[in-house]
Amino acid sequence: MHDAVFRNANLATMRQGSPYGSIEDGVIAITQNRISWVGPRVEWSGKAREEHDLRGAWITPGLIDCHTHLVYAGNRAHEFELRLKGATYEEIARAGGGILSTVKATRTASEDELFDLAQRRVRQWAREGATAIEIKSGYGLDRDTELKMLRVARRLSGLKVKTTFLGAHALPEEYQGRADEYIDLVCDEVLPEAKKQGLVDAVDAFCERIAFTPEQTRRVFDKAKALGLPVKLHADQLSDLGGAALAAEHRALSADHMEFSNEEGIGLMKGAGTAAVLLPGAFYFLKEKQLPPIDLLRRHGVPIALATDHNPGSSPLSSPLLVLNMACTLFRLTPEEALAGMTRNAARALGLQASHGTLETGKQADLAVWQIGAPAELAYAIGANPCAGVMRSGAFRREVP
Ligand SMILES: [Zn+2]
């Protein structure tokens, strides 16, 4: 006896082997928060305590946003406005703009203020069918604020949250000219404390000319490894610093951005099981010109994940569905690749592939229900939200808050 069964549904299981792994006129059964049966109706002969008729709606795995900076205070709308009025970079910096303005606001905000802001934001993801999200620290850049951000991320409800420590995001003002000393603080004090308090699932770093060098990134990764934590990398967004190879060398879960990554690094990623996370929102918002190397990723068989990169500076994007569309229009992914990018491959980028990302027996019952006629509509439409409900850990909510 199953706990619940959803019938009269079309299933995009996102299992590999057929387009969308789709099963038309399918049945999915749930028992104790896990998928206990999935397949075509003609093969179903089970019984369930609870029955739901989905009247031809589509079910996909719940969407997974595997790269966000969602916990922060303030925003950068003023900076956006100044830039569009023709202000120079220096003028914006003088007016208090840039990442350090977000650091200042986040340091000042109380933990409850930060929590309220973030909890309000995540509701938008749930409304669009997301059931899991990754959230990075990195606007504290000091011990107490980094820990505060991670605690806030851990408290959020409505979605499964994976936390990533990104102490090596930017150099705080008080360490200008002393980047190595700041990396000492990150490695010797902040990261071990975050780990000790159980606040961190993975470790990330921003390896870029305007942030940290490959050498400094290596130190952070070595510390993460010593603490038994997996790593991820903001790699090759603005220039090719060998980020893809560096991520592969440390068997990173993912290398993210990757606009300037080279083929050698991409080949190494395949061998290391490292996923590529592409972020079309930042590409769009910054009006970047350099496309990520999609064909190389395809040719080498590197799994391509997609994410909002939600952050107040370069990607104030709160719509997983718009990410699917942008990945197709800007990066020329197919709608199927895009959906895989926010389900199966996003699970992989978070190390969740054993329990999330596809509709398969034994996996977590995290799924989304859509009023659509075909899965391609999810990436095709702009600004429509056909989500009719989400199920997380077996609890179905037709009314998404
Ligand atoms: Zn990012």
Rounded average pLDDT over 33-49:
96
**8 C-alpha to ligand 1 centroid (Å):** 40
Q: Is 69 exposed, middle or buried (0-12, 13-18, 19+ CB in 10 A)?
A: buried
**66 C-alpha to ligand 1 centroid (Å):** 10
**310 C-alpha to ligand 1 centroid (Å):** 8
Q: How confident is the model at residue 87 (pLDDT cuts 50, 70, 90)?
A: confident
**202 C-alpha to ligand 1 centroid (Å):** 14
Say whether pLDDT at 394 is over 70.
no
**169 C-alpha to ligand 1 centroid (Å):** 9
Rounded average pLDDT over 229-245:
96
**309 C-alpha to ligand 1 centroid (Å):** 5
> What is the amino acid identity at position 232?
K
**197 C-alpha to ligand 1 centroid (Å):** 24
**138 C-alpha to ligand 1 centroid (Å):** 10
What is the per-residue pLDDT for 91?
Answer: 82
Say how many C-beta atoms besides its own lie within 10 A of residue 310's C-beta: 27
Q: What is the largest CA-CA distance in the chain?
A: 69
> What is the amino acid identity at position 188?
D
Selection from 321, 328, 16, 241 nearest residue 255 by Cα:
241
**18 C-alpha to ligand 1 centroid (Å):** 32
What is the per-residue pLDDT for 90?
Answer: 76
Strands 367-370 and 160-168: unpaired
What is the per-residue pLDDT for 180?
Answer: 98
With pLDDT > 70 as the criterion, what percentage of the chain qualifies? 98
Q: How confident is the model at residue 98 (pLDDT cuts 50, 70, 90)?
A: confident
**210 C-alpha to ligand 1 centroid (Å):** 14
What is the per-residue pLDDT for 96?
Answer: 74
With pLDDT > 90 as the criterion, what percentage of the chain qualifies? 92
Which helix (H) or strand (E) is 63 found in, with range? Answer: strand 63-65
**42 C-alpha to ligand 1 centroid (Å):** 45
Say whether pLDDT at 397 is over 80.
no
**71 C-alpha to ligand 1 centroid (Å):** 12
Mean pLDDT of the chain: 95
What is the per-residue pLDDT for 398?
Answer: 59
**137 C-alpha to ligand 1 centroid (Å):** 10
Say whether pLDDT at 350 is over 60.
yes
**184 C-alpha to ligand 1 centroid (Å):** 22
Say whether pLDDT at 278 is over 50.
yes
Q: How confident is the model at residue 62 (pLDDT cuts 50, 70, 90)?
A: very high
Q: How confident is the model at residue 152 (pLDDT cuts 50, 70, 90)?
A: very high
What is the per-residue pLDDT for 369?
Answer: 96
**87 C-alpha to ligand 1 centroid (Å):** 25
Q: Which residues fall within 8 angstroms of residue 361, CB to CB, at 6 or more apart?
A: 35, 36, 37, 38
CA distance 366 to 399: 16
**268 C-alpha to ligand 1 centroid (Å):** 22
Model confidence pLDDT, tens digit, residues 11-31: 999 999 999 999 999 999 999
**192 C-alpha to ligand 1 centroid (Å):** 22
- Helix, strand, coil shares of the chain as percentages rounded to 5? 40, 25, 40
Say whether pLDDT at 401 is over 60.
no
Q: How confident is the model at residue 95 (pLDDT cuts 50, 70, 90)?
A: confident
Model confidence pLDDT, tens digit, residues 296-338: 999 999 999 999 999 999 999 999 999 999 999 999 999 999 9
Q: How confident is the model at residue 400 (pLDDT cuts 50, 70, 90)?
A: very low
**68 C-alpha to ligand 1 centroid (Å):** 6
CA distances from 80 to 76, 83, 88 (A): 6, 5, 11
Q: Contact at 8 Å (CB) between 369 and 390?
A: yes
CA distance 288 to 239: 12
